[in-house]
Amino acid sequence: MRLSFQQELDELEASVQDEGELVLRSLRGAIKALQAQDVELADEVIAFDDEIDRRFVGIEEGIQTLLARQTPVAVDLRLVLAMLHVNLHLERAGDYCVTIAKLVKLTQALEGDPTLIEGLEEVGGRAEEMLQVALASFAARDLDEAKRLVELDEHIDAANRRVVYDVLGIGGEPDRREWGLRMILVSRCLERIGDHAVDVGEQTAYIVTGEFREFTDASHPDAKLSS
C-alpha cells in the first residue's frame, strides 16, 4: 500500500493548496491596498511574499525528494509533475501581487480615478475567483470545473481591456496620465494572475486525462479544447 508514500503525497498536495490560500490572501491585500491607497498594507503584501516563497521552496524540495525516493508512476507521477507546475504558477501569481503593491506605493501621491478603480476591482475580483476555481477543481480533479476557467479568462480579458480603454480617455494632465499608465500595469498583473489560474486548470486536466493540452492556444485563439 506504500502508506508513507501516500502520506507524503497527501502532505505535498495540502501544502500546494496552502500556498494557493497564501496567494489569495496576498491578492486580497493588494486589491484592498489599491482601493484605499494604503501604503502600509502594500508594504505588508510585499513582505508577505517571503512566506509564499518559503512555501514554494519547501514544495520544490518535497517534490525533488519524492521523485528521488519514491519513483512515483502513473497517476501519482502525473500528480507530482502537475504540482511542480502549479507550485510555480502560484509563486508567479504571488509575485504579481507584489508588483501591484509596489505600484500602489508608486502612485500614493497621485490622484486616482474612482471609475477606473471600480474597473480594477472587477479585474481583481475575477482574478480571485479564477484562482479559487483553479485550486478547488485541482483538489477535486474536476475537469469540467477546470475547463470553466476558459470562459472566466475571457471575462477577465474583457475587463482588462475596459480598464485600458478607460485610461485612454483619462485626459492630458501629467499626474493623471502617470497614474493611468501605472494602473494599466496593475490591470495587466491581475489579468496575468488569471492566466496562471488557467494554467493550473490545464494541470488538473493533465492529471485526469493523462494528456497535456492547452485549453486555448494563444497563437490560435479559436482552437479550444474539444473534449
Partner 1 sequence: MAVDVRLDELSAWFGNHQAFADITFTVPERHVTAIIGPSGCGKSTLLRCINRMHEVVPRARHGGSVYLGREEIYGAHVDPVSVRRRVGMVFQRPNPFPTMSIYDNVAAGIKLNGVRHRKGELDGLVESSLQSAGLWNEVRNRLKKAAGDLSGGQQQRLCIAGAIAVEPQVLLMDAPASALDPQSTLRIEDLMAELKQQYTIVIVTHNMQQAARVADWTAFMTVLEEGEPGRLVEFDRTETIFTNPGNERTQAYVTGRFG
Interface with partner 1, residue 76, by CB under 8 A: no
Q: Please answer whether residues 128 and 13 qualify as being in contact, where contact means their C-beta atoms are separated by less than 8 angstroms.
A: no
Interface with partner 1, residue 70, by CB under 8 A: yes
CB 67 to partner 1: min, Å? 9
Q: Please answer whether residues 158 and 200 qualify as being in contact, where contact means their C-beta atoms are separated by less than 8 angstroms.
A: no
Interface with partner 1, residue 77, by CB under 8 A: no
CB 3 to partner 1: min, Å? 5
Q: How far are the Cα atoms of 19, 88, 209 from residue 102, in angstroms, in the given order?
A: 21, 21, 40
Query: Which is closer to partner 1, CB of 2 or CB of 213?
Result: 2
Residues 1-20 that bind partner 1 (CB under 8 A): 1-5
Interface with partner 1, residue 69, by CB under 8 A: yes
Interface with partner 1, residue 73, by CB under 8 A: no
CB 118 to partner 1: min, Å? 50
Residues 89-108 that bind partner 1 (CB under 8 A): none
Q: Site for partner 1 (CB under 8 A): which residue of 10, 71, 108, 169?
A: 71
CB 8 to partner 1: min, Å? 10
CB 1 to partner 1: min, Å? 6
CB 74 to partner 1: min, Å? 14
The site that binds partner 1 (CB under 8 A) totals a number of residues, namely: 11
Query: Which is closer to partner 1, CB of 68 or CB of 74?
Result: 68
The C-alpha cell of 33 is what? 491596498
Residues 29-68 that bind partner 1 (CB under 8 A): 64-65, 68
Residues at the contact surface with partner 1, assessed by CB under 8 A? 1-5, 64-65, 68-71
